[in-house]
A = this chain, B = another copy of it.
Amino acid sequence: MLLAVDCIIFGFDGQDIKLLLIQRGFQPRKGEWSLVGGFVQPDESADAAAARILKKLSGLDGIYMEQLHTFSNPDRDTVERTVSVAYTALIDLQKFKQHLHEDFHAVWFPINQHPELIFDHQLMVNKAKEQLRYKAALHPLLLELMPAKFTIPQLQQLYESVYNSEFDKGNFSRKILSTKLLVKLADKDKLNSKKGAFYYRIDRKRYDANKQAFLNFVPDPKI
């Protein structure tokens, strides 16, 4: 029995949510697209393997990953019995984009528009999306996807794309600000409007202290 890990890495570039995929470098199914993954070594934990493999295949280092689920269907891998522990992470693409040189075969794809994946990787992605929606409704974790400086309307776009619905801008802004997790900066982003929107940054101390607090971000569905 082999033990593998697969990483579902979501990134946000300020516009769209992306998913990190690689072109498999080995047989079987070499050249096809898959999640970043590999085998756990005899002397390492799955957590350690996930970090090591992510770094080796994409250059991403020091990313905080969480265990999602373990996939153990006996015929999920067509060659040999392989159990895979799936991990997820959320990252700000602008901070990490430069690492993705051609040294690596890792590529960011729009979350809803990526090539077909091998084995049960699509299942893993679906579960990760579901979990992202669930968690983001309760915790401010989508802030982790934002760049160092961002505006409230940008953040709102991220929420709207995760939940596939539109929020009232006034209420959204007040709700986010009421968490006191953001610090207003002096300058504005004028790319999207003439008036311009103030930049904010995360208040790291408060964020780390409150990220497990419940927030109830997602509005009730309009009937």
A positions within 8 Å CB-CB of B: 1-3, 40, 42-47, 67, 69-70, 72-74, 81, 83, 85, 137-138, 214, 216
16 A-B residue pairings within 8 Å (CB atoms): A1-B1, A1-B2, A1-B3, A1-B42, A3-B3, A3-B83, A40-B72, A42-B74, A45-B73, A46-B72, A46-B83, A67-B69, A72-B85, A137-B214, A138-B138, A216-B216
Bound Cα distance from A186 to B138, whole angstroms: 39
With a cutoff of 8 Å between Cβ atoms, the chain B residues found around residue A69 in the complex are: 67
| Chain B contacts for A42, CB-based, 8 A | 1, 74, 81
Nearest CB of B to A6, in Å = 13
Residue of B nearest to A86 (CB): B70
Q: How far is the CB of A120 from chain B (nearest CB, A)?
A: 11
**A39 nearest in chain B by CB position:** B1
Interface centre among A43, A67, A69, A70, by most chain B C-beta atoms within 10 angstroms, is A70
CB nearest to A69 among chain B residues: B67
- Minimum CB–CB distance from A212 to chain B (whole Å) comes to 9
Please state if A3 and B72 are interface contacts (CB–CB under 8 Å). yes
